[in-house]
Amino acid sequence: MTLVFDHLTLGQRVLFGTGRAAENLATEVQRLGARKVMVIASGSEAAMADAVCAGIEPALRWDEVVMHVPVEVAERARSAAAQHRIDLLVSVGGGSTTGLAKAVALTTGIPIVAVPTTYAGSEATNVWGLTESARKTTGVDDRVLPVTVIYDASLTLSLPTDLSVASGLNGMAHCIDSLWAPRADPINAALAAEGIRALSRGLPLVKAEPENFGGREQALYGAYLSAVAFASAGSGMHHKICHVLGGTFNLPHAQTHATVLPYVLAFNAPAAPEAETRAAAAFGAGNALDGLNGLRDTLDAPRALADYGFRKEDIPEVVRIALPAIPASNPRKVTAGNLSTVLAAATTGDDPKTLTDL
């Protein structure tokens, strides 16, 4: 069969090394010629940020970090960056921290060096997200792609095990969604499959042996691959649903993705046999859903949206907002009826296999 596809690879420097974040950051600040650095890190990660920034002298430290990046929070950070004439943003933290740096870069063009402390993957994409009036808006802009990502597995030690699990499964969602997203292609699929393999090997080690850097390095490597695939392939059904759950109902980002993922996989897999076979092989399982569910059982992963405050009576609102945004290229036709069924199962934590024959 002849291959025909159009693939875009984003340009970004990646520095990977356990225990080397401070050294690598100092090197990058010097290489980029930055004179006024704004360090973005939440208050809870201030000590970690101090350690990472030991080799530089920040002009400004910013600790107002809020999940889903409310517009008003972004505006305050943008104003501070302008007032201090910042020429480099350094984000130290998870997806919310990276997201705030992206919000500043979106309107200012200031470059970002991202230092992730979770497996969120936002650091490797040119996708931004902002929330205003209970609506999350996302977009794509190369200005928000960090010029450099610094990975250091030791920085993930402070992440509680349950949040490590949810964050890693968020990365897994990037991989699986990339297999049937609007711009899916063979290169994205190869990256996504390797991401699934790395995450499915690394996350159980993170849970079983929290001090094991080998597992954490595999999880970080997998999260990076997942994000690169996602950035190229685009946002599929899973992410369109989760953006509404997070932006409109303020559900926690990582846990929401971890919960919804098996239901979207169960819904789409029968209509996407090539993607399903590739994912199954990456899991080392007979089929992709069994592979994912086996991993989730091992990790004691989040099970139900209701555990985070979501109610069945909110499903029609999610359907109303999400349905028009789900790509027409989704492997199975999505209707208000079957989307409601998917959400109902995810709300109560029903067996995802019930959706395969929907």
Q: Tell whether 4 is covered by a domain.
A: no
Looking at the structure, tell me whether residues 252 and 287 fall in a common domain: yes
**Contact between 61 and 82 (Cβ < 8 Å):** no
Q: How confident is the model at residue 320 (pLDDT cuts 50, 70, 90)?
A: very high
Range of the domain at 265: 161-355
Find the CATH number of the domain harbouring 66.
Answer: 3.40.50.1970
Instruction: Look at residue 35 in the predicted model and tell me its pLDDT.
Output: 97
Q: Tell whether 126 is covered by a domain.
A: yes
Q: How confident is the model at residue 356 (pLDDT cuts 50, 70, 90)?
A: confident
Higher pLDDT, 310 or 10: 310
How far apart are the C-alpha atoms of 118 and 165, rounded to whole Å?
Answer: 10
Looking at the structure, tell me whether residues 248 and 213 fall in a common domain: yes
Higher pLDDT, 230 or 2: 230
Looking at the structure, tell me whether residues 165 and 148 fall in a common domain: no
Q: Tell whether 226 is covered by a domain.
A: yes
Q: Tell whether 100 is covered by a domain.
A: yes
How far apart are the C-alpha atoms of 198 and 219, rounded to whole Å?
Answer: 6
Q: Tell whether 147 is covered by a domain.
A: yes
Looking at the structure, tell me whether residues 210 and 326 fall in a common domain: yes
Instruction: Look at residue 104 in the predicted model and tell me its pLDDT.
Output: 98
Q: How confident is the model at residue 264 (pLDDT cuts 50, 70, 90)?
A: very high
**% of residues, the chain, pLDDT over 70:** 100
The arithmetic mean of pLDDT across residues 15-22, rounded, is: 98
Looking at the structure, tell me whether residues 130 and 168 fall in a common domain: no
Looking at the structure, tell me whether residues 99 and 129 fall in a common domain: yes
Looking at the structure, tell me whether residues 348 and 199 fall in a common domain: yes
Looking at the structure, tell me whether residues 245 and 193 fall in a common domain: yes
Examine the fold and report which residue of 104, 134, 156 is the final residue of a domain before the chain moves on.
Answer: 156
How far apart are the C-alpha atoms of 232 and 246, rounded to whole Å?
Answer: 23
* Number of helical H runs and strand E runs in the chain: 13, 8
User: Is the pLDDT assigned to residue 208 strictly greater than 70?
Assistant: yes
What are the DSSP E strand ranges found in the chain? 13-16, 37-40, 60-62, 88-93, 112-116, 127-132, 135-140, 148-151
Q: How confident is the model at residue 103 (pLDDT cuts 50, 70, 90)?
A: very high
> What are 278-313's pLDDT values in tens digits?
999 999 999 999 999 999 999 999 999 999 999 999
Examine the fold and report which residue of 132, 156, 180 is the final residue of a domain before the chain moves on.
Answer: 156
Instruction: Look at residue 120 in the predicted model and tell me its pLDDT.
Output: 83
Per the document, the length of the chain is 358
Total number of domains in the chain = 2
How far apart are the C-alpha atoms of 189 and 278, rounded to whole Å?
Answer: 8
Instruction: Look at residue 135 in the predicted model and tell me its pLDDT.
Output: 86
User: Is the pLDDT assigned to residue 76 strictly greater than 90?
Assistant: yes
**Contact between 153 and 213 (Cβ < 8 Å):** yes
**Contact between 145 and 132 (Cβ < 8 Å):** no
How far apart are the C-alpha atoms of 13 and 146, rounded to whole Å?
Answer: 9
User: Is the pLDDT assigned to residue 358 strictly greater than 90?
Assistant: no
The arithmetic mean of pLDDT across residues 135-160, rounded, is: 94
Looking at the structure, tell me whether residues 214 and 330 fall in a common domain: yes
**% of residues, the chain, pLDDT over 90:** 93
Q: How confident is the model at residue 1 (pLDDT cuts 50, 70, 90)?
A: low
Residue 274 CB contacts under 8 Å (≥ 6 apart), including other chains? none
Looking at the structure, tell me whether residues 113 and 195 fall in a common domain: no
The arithmetic mean of pLDDT across residues 346-358, rounded, is: 91
Q: Tell whether 258 is covered by a domain.
A: yes
Looking at the structure, tell me whether residues 148 and 282 fall in a common domain: no
Lowest mean pLDDT among 67-71, 192-196, 257-261: 67-71
Q: Tell whether 187 is covered by a domain.
A: yes
Q: Tell whether 290 is covered by a domain.
A: yes
- How many other CB atoms are there within 10 angstroms of residue 34's CB atom? 20
Q: Where is 230: in which H helix or E strand?
A: helix 213-233
The arithmetic mean of pLDDT across residues 259-265, rounded, is: 98
Find the CATH number of the domain harbouring 177.
Answer: 1.20.1090.10
Task: Determine the residue type at 55.
Answer: G
Q: Which residues pair with 113 in a beta bridge?
A: 90, 148
Looking at the structure, tell me whether residues 81 and 52 fall in a common domain: yes
One-character DSSP codes across 87-119: -EEEEEESHHHHHHHHHHHHHH---EEEEESSS
Examine the fold and report which residue of 141, 156, 171 is the final residue of a domain before the chain moves on.
Answer: 156
